[in-house]
Structure 1
Amino acid sequence: MDDSFYMRDLDEETLFIVSQTFKALSDPTRIRILNLLFEKEYAVNDISETLGLRQSTVSHQLRFLKNLRLVKYRREGTTIYYSHDDEHVINVLQQMINHALHH
């Protein structure tokens, strides 16, 4: 099939969303966070401790990912728990990790 066919069908909004998603996946810290959230939901403190990152770093990256709708959160009391919010992106990420591990 001719690849140029697909490019003609992509509108500006679709191109923007795709490029922003790849931008999100281009950062090692965001990859680590999304990979962790693949397993289960975590609070910011737990992400910070598990990945050895400062809480401010984790919070900043989670805001970025939330704005792209790649993570979602729920509040339980005073604790906010984050989880992934896009099965398609998580699947792409897992495929790329498997590709890198077996390359």
Structure 2
Amino acid sequence: MACKENCNCTIFHQDVLTKVEKSLYSDQEFDDLSNLFKVLSDPTRIKILTAIKEDELCVCDLGHLIGVSKSAISHQMKLLRSYDLVKGRKEGKMVYYSLNDPNISRLIDKVYIHTKG
């Protein structure tokens, strides 16, 4: 059987291709996944997520811990919140941030282990 779009190659394992095709995500799901990985590709955001996976922290403490300004942390938190990666808990004038989904913590840990070989 020939491939799609007349590429002149032969498909040898149609049963395998059919099985794999059924397991693939939709184009929109691939876009969503890709966008999430783009958000996670920034070292400052990874530092923030790694810090708050241990305990909730305010912007001031995060800025001190990571070594960036409150403004920079707030900017990153806005983006992380827009992807539902973090949540805030208000206490008076302070907002304490934590992970919104424990799967993010596991993802970071798994990727870290992978980078260590």
**What TM-score bracket applies, with the shorter chain setting the length?**
0.7 to 0.9
1:58 aligns with 2:55: no
Gaps of 5+ in 2: 1-15
Q: TM-score, normalised by structure 2?
A: 0.77
Aligned match of 1:6: 23
Q: Deviations over 1:5-57 (max 9, x none)?
A: 322xx234422321121111111110000000110000000000011111111
Measure, in 1, the Cα distance between the counterparts of 2:110 and 2:74: 26
Aligned match of 2:92: 77
- The structure whose Rg is larger is 2
Percent identical among aligned pairs is 33
Quote the offset at 1:70 in angstroms: 0.2
Number of equivalent positions: 100
Whichever residue aligns with residue 61 of structure 2, its letter is: D
CA 1:19–1:52: 2 relative to 1, 3 Å: same
Gaps of 5+ in 1: none
**Greater relative contact order (CA < 8 Å, ≥ 6 in sequence):** 1
Whichever residue aligns with residue 21 of structure 2, its letter is: S
Given the alignment, which residue of 46, 52, 59 partners 1:31? 46
Whichever residue aligns with residue 67 of structure 1, its letter is: S
Q: TM-score, normalised by structure 1?
A: 0.87
